[in-house]
Homo-oligomer: A and B are copies of this chain.
Amino acid sequence: MTMGHQKEATSLSRVPGYGEPDLPASGRHDEPGALRRLLEPRSVAIIGASANPDKRGYQIIKALKKAGYNYPIFPVNPRGGAILDLPVYLGIDALPDAVDIVVIVRPAEEIPDILVQCGKKGVAGAVVLAHGFRERGGRGSDAEQRLRDALDISGVRIIGPNTSGMQNCTVRADFIGLPELPPGGPISVLTQSGNMILSVVEDSRSINGPGFDIIAGLGNQTDIGYGELIEELGKRKTTRSIAIYSEGLLDGRGFLDAAERVAQICPIVMLRGGRSVEGRKAALSHTGSIAGADDIAMKVLVQKGVILIDRSDELLPIAALLATSPLPKPKTGIAVLTDGGGHATLAVDALSRAGAPFASLSEDTKTRLKGVLGNEAKVENPIDVASAADAYPDVFRECIEILASDPQVGLVLINGLVGAYHIRFDASLLEAENSAAERMVALRKDTGLPLVFHSCYADRKPENHDILRKGGIQVFPSIELAATGSKALYARANWLSQQHSRVAELVPESSTVFVPSGLSAETAARGLLERLGVDTGKWLSAVDADSVEASISKFAGPCAVKLDSADVVHKSDAGGVRLGVTRGKGREAAEGICSDMTSHTPPLQKYGFIVTPMVDRGVELFVGATNDPVFGPVVLFGSGGVLVEMAKDVTFRAAPVSTEEALNMIEETHVAKILDGFRHFPRVDRRSLASFISSLSRAVLRMENLAELDINPLIANESGVYAVDVRLVGK
C-alpha cells in the first residue's frame, strides 16, 4: 500500500521505547496519591535553592511566596543560611520525610543522584528543569540512561526533564515563575512548550477567562506523559476542562485509552503542533518527539472524545467554554439571536463551516418572538432583534426565555453589539445592560440552556460581560470563535451520547495470529483473515493451469485468475491478472500469466494462482488497516480502485470500531454520495459494509506483527461486499 499519509506515518518510524510504556513498573510509587501529591503539593523542597536573585533557585521561592503558597517550603543548599526568611536545609537527607514535591534546579549530571536521594526520603514527585537528556544526546545517551536508571531505583515520579515547570493555581504553587500567577479556576493545561504556557495565560487575560487549576510543561515526558496526566486531572474536582498543546504523543495508543475514559467526565481540548511536514521538522528540533501522521491522528483522537482545535488562538477560549458551559441536548440545534444582519450572516456561515446543527423554530416560538419583537421582526433562525434592544437590552433575555422552551433549541448563540449599547448609543444604558446580564445568568441557571455570546465590543470588557462570565457564560470578541465553541459543545454532547452502544458491542477477543514479515501471497492473506472471522468471499487456490481450469468449473460464472505470489506487489501491472475467464479458458489464462512471469525482474521462484468469481457490478471501495507508529492498529475506509491515491477519499479510526462507528466512517467519505444508487451504480447495503469494516477492525487487533492490510477494491452492491484483491504485509 502506498497511500500518501501512510507512507508519511511509516517514514516517521518511531524510535521504540521512549516514555512511559516501556518503563518497568517495579520500584515505582504507584500507590494512589503519588501523582496527586505531585500535582497538588502540600510541601515543597527546592533542590538548588539560591540567595542570588538572578538565579532560578531564588526566583522560584520568591514566586511561591508572591503567589501565596500556604504550605511549607524547604530550600536546600549545602551552604545553609536563610533565603527569603526561610531556613535552608543543608541536604536532601536533612529534609523532613515524605515531602510532596521537589523542584530540582541543578544541571543534568546531578539529577540522577538527587532523584535517588529523594526516593529514600519518600518524596512523591519532582519537577526537573534541567536540559541535556534525550533532546540533546538521543535516546541512547549516557545522561538519558542514567536518568532512567535513577527513575527506576528511586520510584520518584517526575515532570520533565527539559520543562519550564508546573503550576497549581488552586493551591497557588508556582514553579514556573510568571510575573503574576493567573487566578485559580477550572482549566488545566498540559503543554510541551514553555511559550504556549505564556500564550494561554495571556489569552485568558485577554478574555477575562475563568482561571486555571494545573498548568504543566511536560518537557521530555521521560516519566509522566499526557495519558497518565489526563487520567489524574480527570480525578480532580477543580479541573473542569483539559487544554493540551502537544507536538507528539509518545504513547499514542495509551493516550487514546486514557482519553476515552477521561472524556466521559471531563472535556479534553487539544491543539496539535507539527501537523505540517514543515511544522514537524520544527517540532523535532524542539523537544525531539514525533507527531503522528496528521490525517490518522485527527480521526482517532476525535473518535476517543478529544476535541481538536486548529488554531492556537482558540485553544484557551474553547477550553474556557467547555469548562463553564452546560452541554446541549442531543438532536437539538442552535438558534442565533442577533442585533444586526451582517453579524447574523457571519455567525451562520461560521456555524455552517464548523458543521454545527441549526434549530428549526416551532410556530409557537415564532409567534411568541413576534410578541416581543413586533410583527415585522425576522423570527426565522437567525432571529434579528434589530433595534428592539437598542433602548431596552433585556429584549435578549426575553427572547432567550422563549427559545429555552422550544425543544428543538439546544443552544443559543447571541451576537452583535450585545452588552455595549451603553458604549455605542448612550452611557445611561449601563445599568440596564448590567441587570439584563444578571437576569440572563439566572435564566441560564434555571433552564440549563447553553448560551454563547459574541460581542464586537468584548475587548472593551464592559461590566455586564464580566457579570455573564462570573455566571459561567463566555463572551467572545470573535464571531468565528463563538461558532467554533458552539460546535465544540455539540461535538462533545454527541460523542457522549454515542458511548453506550459502542462499549456493549466490542467485546475483546484474546487469541492472536502472527503476520509473516513482508508481503503475503493473496491466498495466505485470505486464509489468515478467515481464521480471524473476516469473510473474504469465495476463492480457490490453484497450483497449475489444470487446477485453475478445475477451479473455474466450480464457480457458476466467469472468474478472475490471478497470480498468487508473495513477491509481486502490483499483480496487474506485472501481467498477473486475467479477468472474465470462462470455463474452458482457464488453462490459457494460467499459461498467459506464466508466460508474462518469465520476464519478471527479479525472476519469480515459485508461485501459484488464485481463482475468484467475477463480481458483476458494484461500487469500488477501499478497506484497509495500518499499524500506526503512534496510535497502533488503525482501520481505513474510502473510495477504491486504482485512483485511490489520487482521490484521497479515505477516513480512519483506531481499531476496533463498532458497526455504528463504521457507518459514521462511511458517511464521512465522498463515495458515500453514490452508495444509495447513482447512474449505473447499484444501491449498497451500508449495514453489510459497516459490519465488514467492524469485523476487519476486530481481526486487526488480533494480528501480531501487522504492518499494512489493503482490500482494494472491495466491491459493494445490493447483496453484500466482495473482497476483490487482498494484500497483507507484515513488519
- Across the interface, A342 reaches (CB within 8 A) one of B178, B273, B674, namely B273
Which A504-549 residues sit within 8 Å CB-CB of chain B? Answer: none
Q: Are A341 and B417 in contact (CB under 8 A)?
A: no
- Give chain B residues whose Cβ lies under 8 Å from the Cβ of A220: none
Q: How far is the CA of A287 from the CA of B378 in the complex (A)?
A: 12
Q: Would you call A364 an interface residue if the criterion is a C-beta within 8 Å of the partner chain's C-beta atoms?
A: no
- Give chain B residues whose Cβ lies under 8 Å from the Cβ of A343: 193, 195-196, 199
Q: Are A274 and B345 in contact (CB under 8 A)?
A: yes
- Give chain B residues whose Cβ lies under 8 Å from the Cβ of A353: 275-276, 310
Q: Would you call A340 an interface residue if the criterion is a C-beta within 8 Å of the partner chain's C-beta atoms?
A: yes
Q: Are B423 and A179 in contact (CB under 8 A)?
A: yes
Which A434-471 residues sit within 8 Å CB-CB of chain B? Answer: 456-457, 459-460
Q: Would you call A600 an interface residue if the criterion is a C-beta within 8 Å of the partner chain's C-beta atoms?
A: no
Q: How far is the CA of A247 from the CA of B481 in the complex (A)?
A: 21
In the complex, how many angstroms separate the beta carbon of A246 from the nearest chain B beta carbon? Answer: 10
Q: Are B286 and A194 in contact (CB under 8 A)?
A: no
Q: Are B198 and A417 in contact (CB under 8 A)?
A: yes
- The closest CB in chain B to the CB of A349 belongs to B279
Which A336-370 residues sit within 8 Å CB-CB of chain B? Answer: 336, 339-346, 348-353, 358
Q: Are A459 and B205 in contact (CB under 8 A)?
A: yes
Q: Are A348 and B479 in contact (CB under 8 A)?
A: no
- Give chain B residues whose Cβ lies under 8 Å from the Cβ of A310: 353
Q: What are 5 A-to-B residue pairs whose CB atoms are below 8 Å?
A: A196-B343, A198-B456, A275-B349, A276-B348, A285-B341
- The closest CB in chain B to the CB of A196 belongs to B342
Q: How far is the CA of A679 from the CA of B285 in the complex (A)?
A: 37
Other than the known A191-B342, A275-B352, A282-B382, what 20 A-B pairs have Cβ atoms closer than 8 Å?
A179-B423, A192-B342, A195-B342, A196-B342, A199-B456, A202-B457, A206-B459, A206-B477, A271-B346, A279-B349, A283-B345, A285-B341, A285-B380, A286-B341, A311-B479, A312-B480, A313-B479, A646-B670, A646-B671, A647-B670
Q: Are B670 and A313 in contact (CB under 8 A)?
A: no
- Give chain B residues whose Cβ lies under 8 Å from the Cβ of A350: 311-312
- Give chain B residues whose Cβ lies under 8 Å from the Cβ of A281: 348, 380
- Give chain B residues whose Cβ lies under 8 Å from the Cβ of A203: 456
Q: Would you call A384 an interface residue if the criterion is a C-beta within 8 Å of the partner chain's C-beta atoms?
A: yes
- Give chain B residues whose Cβ lies under 8 Å from the Cβ of A424: 178-179, 198
Q: Would you call A668 an interface residue if the criterion is a C-beta within 8 Å of the partner chain's C-beta atoms?
A: no
Q: Would you call A503 an interface residue if the criterion is a C-beta within 8 Å of the partner chain's C-beta atoms?
A: no
Q: Would you call A237 an interface residue if the criterion is a C-beta within 8 Å of the partner chain's C-beta atoms?
A: no
Q: Would you call A648 an interface residue if the criterion is a C-beta within 8 Å of the partner chain's C-beta atoms?
A: yes
Q: How far is the CA of A345 from the CA of B278 in the complex (A)?
A: 8
Q: Are B196 and A349 in contact (CB under 8 A)?
A: no
Contact with B along A259-291 (1 / 0, CB 8 A): 000000000000101111111011101110000
- The closest CB in chain B to the CB of A313 belongs to B478
- Give chain B residues whose Cβ lies under 8 Å from the Cβ of A643: 674
Q: Would you call A649 an interface residue if the criterion is a C-beta within 8 Å of the partner chain's C-beta atoms?
A: yes
- The closest CB in chain B to the CB of A272 belongs to B349
Copies of this polypeptide in the complex: 2
In the complex, how many angstroms separate the beta carbon of A209 from the nearest chain B beta carbon? Answer: 12
Q: Are B645 and A195 in contact (CB under 8 A)?
A: no
Most B-side CB within 10 Å, residue of A282, A478, A674: A282
Q: How far is the CA of A380 from the CA of B285 in the complex (A)?
A: 9
Q: Would you call A500 an interface residue if the criterion is a C-beta within 8 Å of the partner chain's C-beta atoms?
A: no
Q: A277-B352, A348-B279, A478-B313 are in contact. Are A460 and B202 (CB under 8 A)?
A: yes
Q: How far is the CA of A202 from the CA of B196 in the complex (A)?
A: 26
Q: How far is the CA of A191 from the CA of B199 in the complex (A)?
A: 33
Top-8 shortest CB links A-B: A193-B342, A286-B341, A195-B340, A276-B352, A279-B349, A313-B478, A273-B345, A199-B456
Q: Are A279 and B345 in contact (CB under 8 A)?
A: yes
Q: Are A479 and B312 in contact (CB under 8 A)?
A: yes
In the complex, how many angstroms separate the beta carbon of A572 from the nearest chain B beta carbon? Answer: 8
Q: Are B278 and A352 in contact (CB under 8 A)?
A: yes
In the complex, how many angstroms separate the beta carbon of A322 from the nearest chain B beta carbon? Answer: 20
- The closest CB in chain B to the CB of A315 belongs to B346
- Write the residues of chain A forming the contact surface with B, with a CB cutoff of 8 angstroms: 178-179, 191-196, 198-199, 202-203, 205-206, 245, 247, 271, 273-279, 281-283, 285-287, 310-313, 336, 339-346, 348-353, 358, 378, 380, 382, 384, 416-417, 423-424, 456-457, 459-460, 477-481, 570, 573, 642-643, 645-649, 670-671, 673-674, 678-680
- Give chain B residues whose Cβ lies under 8 Å from the Cβ of A417: 195, 198
- Across the interface, A642 reaches (CB within 8 A) one of B416, B647, B680, namely B680
Most B-side CB within 10 Å, residue of A279, A382, A416: A279
Q: Are B642 and A679 in contact (CB under 8 A)?
A: yes
- Give chain B residues whose Cβ lies under 8 Å from the Cβ of A647: 647, 649, 670
Q: How far is the CA of A287 from the CA of B342 in the complex (A)?
A: 9
Most B-side CB within 10 Å, residue of A202, A380, A649: A202
Q: Are B345 and A456 in contact (CB under 8 A)?
A: no
- Give chain B residues whose Cβ lies under 8 Å from the Cβ of A480: 311-313
In the complex, how many angstroms separate the beta carbon of A621 from the nearest chain B beta carbon? Answer: 12
In the complex, how many angstroms separate the beta carbon of A47 from the nearest chain B beta carbon? Answer: 22
- Give chain B residues whose Cβ lies under 8 Å from the Cβ of A358: 278
Q: How far is the CA of A245 from the CA of B349 in the complex (A)?
A: 13
Q: How far is the CA of A191 from the CA of B341 in the complex (A)?
A: 12
- Give chain B residues whose Cβ lies under 8 Å from the Cβ of A341: 193, 195, 282-283, 285-287
- Give chain B residues whose Cβ lies under 8 Å from the Cβ of A674: 643, 646
Q: How far is the CA of A647 from the CA of B644 in the complex (A)?
A: 11
- Give chain B residues whose Cβ lies under 8 Å from the Cβ of A478: 311-313
- Across the interface, A481 reaches (CB within 8 A) one of B179, B196, B285, B313, namely B313
In the complex, how many angstroms separate the beta carbon of A283 from the nearest chain B beta carbon? Answer: 5
Q: Are B646 and A273 in contact (CB under 8 A)?
A: no
Q: Are B342 and A194 in contact (CB under 8 A)?
A: yes
- The closest CB in chain B to the CB of A380 belongs to B285
- Give chain B residues whose Cβ lies under 8 Å from the Cβ of A340: 193-196
- The closest CB in chain B to the CB of A476 belongs to B313
- Give chain B residues whose Cβ lies under 8 Å from the Cβ of A279: 345-346, 348-349, 352
- Across the interface, A648 reaches (CB within 8 A) one of B277, B416, B670, namely B670
Most B-side CB within 10 Å, residue of A281, A313, A358, A647: A313
Q: How far is the CA of A279 from the CA of B350 in the complex (A)?
A: 9
Q: How far is the CA of A697 from the CA of B423 in the complex (A)?
A: 53
Q: Are B352 and A195 in contact (CB under 8 A)?
A: no
